[in-house]
Structure 1
């Protein structure tokens, strides 16, 4: 192993730059040459590749997004696209590849590994929906972004005695909605993993009114459905003023938290170590604060589990 490539793919997440920095500097520390691949798998196909140095990753640890940029590539899903990518890796004499991203990015790494090219995956997504790791890079930052927004919304909800329905990201996974809802004291939390009855949401609001509470926060993961529709249904049932806030892509931006920076640093260095040890087709992660790695193909077969204990706690605390 003399040359390593690194790319980011799919949706960006705060802390990706910190992970890139870790991979680059760990590689140089071990006397490896490191090459940045710009614009994800599409950039790999097109040959947007250049060597990185210590100074290339200076002053990026605090920046959100990804300095390598990202894109989605339909071409890479084809056999022809994958062969083009491998030719570019061979052209630059790159011996191993580190991919930072989510499950779609890992499927790309899996395809390259199956074709004999060593890849290591680093989980970077705000959804925290990758099995085999307790946390993904970007989740903690996105969570804090949501909490800060909800705290401000609660101020105005209290002043005007309104019900606010807040929609956060999470098409298939509700970790962000669940953790943010518990941390921000939401009255109801709606996620794709737990079926909900509108009557239960209405009953909680009614009970709050009976004890003098005049405002409520309803946290909704986007995969559940339209926050606007849910707000309209609440309004029709209770004849109260409702407001909707869709936080959107603000959740994916911003300077990464200390936790995400440290996590990114640990996972980046560990990915380099695995390649040096001759490992391939692995995903790195953290469980109970210990670095671990899994077969990337086996991980993709698993279903991400949301915390039932945390969901039950949220119901206890929002009586």
Structure 2
């Protein structure tokens, strides 16, 4: 499970297991609605990474040479439409889309925004690592990149609509941050990979969530989903104002929250396990909090 919209439509990826090495088969983008698979990509390697309220799906296809190509997809048929690119680019991905149809993704080692049939490369976005996590309705883009510093620190970075870059507070050669979600003026992530945290979009630390290891999703009314650790075991939880409001039942030892519904009573994500063949066994899951 990679993303969802406020209408309950979810996207992610399935794979056809390799009979010898479980979990290693090619991926196929998938769309779920009402708990049912409603569309799937026809070509192996195609992956779905985001969806907006209008139902436009984004992701990428893989060609015969193994290169990725950013695309939008029909949420009813899975059919792909390639996004415009600079012919010099070798690999592109589309990773997130907002209500306005603006798309954020990558082009080789740069972060790109597609808008109204054109595209622009974000300033100071070149990195040996670039993972785009979101684009909000104000055009702000969230990504994790390796900063051009002495130790190549990893941190979440937010670009506003003007292209100004904001590095999340607290990163240095000993402290790295990873992020997961951007919504309502907040960034959800993990401070040094150990402490669930929220930052404002200008990079300032908003709060560290007690008992949390990572904050992964933000709901429309401020509910945060993520992972907690009580000193003995991990659990998947929803927080409200920094306090646990629900512990989500899971079958496996850990799970990730990707989406929180608009009423804060639904959530979706993936449970993580292991198969007998040694590969990952990720199960898309939805939760309803009564």
Same fold (TM over 0.5): no
Task: Tell me the TM-score normalized by structure 1.
Answer: 0.22
- Report which of the two structures shows the higher radius of gyration computed on alpha carbons: 1
Higher relative contact order (CA closer than 8 Å, sequence separation 6+): 1
Greater helix percent: which structure?
A: 1
Task: Tell me the TM-score normalized by structure 2.
Answer: 0.23
